[in-house]
């Protein structure tokens, strides 16, 4: 846990990070020091995995925030706002240690983990369709009209 987040980014670039290969490498390092405890390997792998999953979660939160602002959505976005606040702190504090990832951050990650790469891309596209969404809001006054509209669109597709 003594690696900083900055060092994790440098040492294990997200695009090349594969936990199974990293575990093999860390086990090889342990073999060079046969007398030392190996208990730290799984803990470190878990922390690095959580860190990279956190990147995906923060990306999802940023996209949801863009959609919220672009489409003037209302509602309770307090969890999103907290996550974005934490994201800002995390980005500005790359000198923090790997083991500084808080339980609060992990809870937020679990809330947004269902937002896959494909769903994030869908949200990005939705944010780019502000005029269409505004037109749909104006033209279709209730949910029944929306259902008919969706049915007609799917039939014509």
32-61 pLDDT, tens digit per residue, is 877 777 777 888 888 888 888 787 788 888
DSSP string, 87-115: HHHHHH-TTSBGGG--HHHHHHHHHHTT-
Tell me which H or E stretch contains 116. none
Q: State pLDDT tens for residues 76-102.
A: 988 788 778 877 776 766 777 777 677
CA separation for the pair 152, 157 (Å, rounded): 9
What pTM value is reported for the model? 0.64
pLDDT at 82: 79
Q: For the chain, which residues make up each domain, given as ranges?
A: 5-156
Is pLDDT of 16 > 70? no
Phi, psi of 97 (to 5 degrees): -80, 155
A 10 A CB-CB count for 83 gives 26
C-beta separation of 120 from 60 below 8 A: yes
Burial class (CB in 10 A: 0-12, 13-18, 19+), 61: buried
3 state DSSP class of 3 = coil
Contact between residue 8 and residue 101 where contact means Cβ atoms under 8 Å apart: no
CA distance 26 to 91: 27
- Quick: pLDDT tens for 132-153: 888 888 888 888 888 888 888 8
């Amino acid at each position: 846990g003594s690696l900083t987040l900055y060092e994790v980014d440098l040492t294990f670039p997200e695009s090349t990070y594969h936990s199974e290969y990293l575990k093999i490498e860390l086990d090889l390092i342990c073999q060079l020091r046969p007398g030392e405890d190996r208990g730290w390997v799984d803990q470190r792998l878990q922390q690095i995995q959580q860190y990279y999953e956190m990147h995906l979660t923060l990306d999802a939160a940023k996209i949801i925030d863009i959609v919220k602002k672009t489409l003037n959505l209302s509602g309770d976005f307090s969890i999103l706002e907290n996550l974005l606040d934490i994201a800002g702190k995390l980005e500005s504090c790359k000198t923090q240690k790997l083991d500084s990832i808080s339980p609060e951050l992990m809870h937020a990650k679990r809330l947004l983990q269902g937002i896959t790469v494909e769903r994030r891309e869908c949200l990005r596209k939705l944010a780019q369709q502000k005029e269409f969404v505004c037109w749909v809001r104006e033209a279709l006054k209730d949910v029944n009209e929306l259902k008919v509209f969706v049915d007609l669109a799917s039939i014509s597709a």
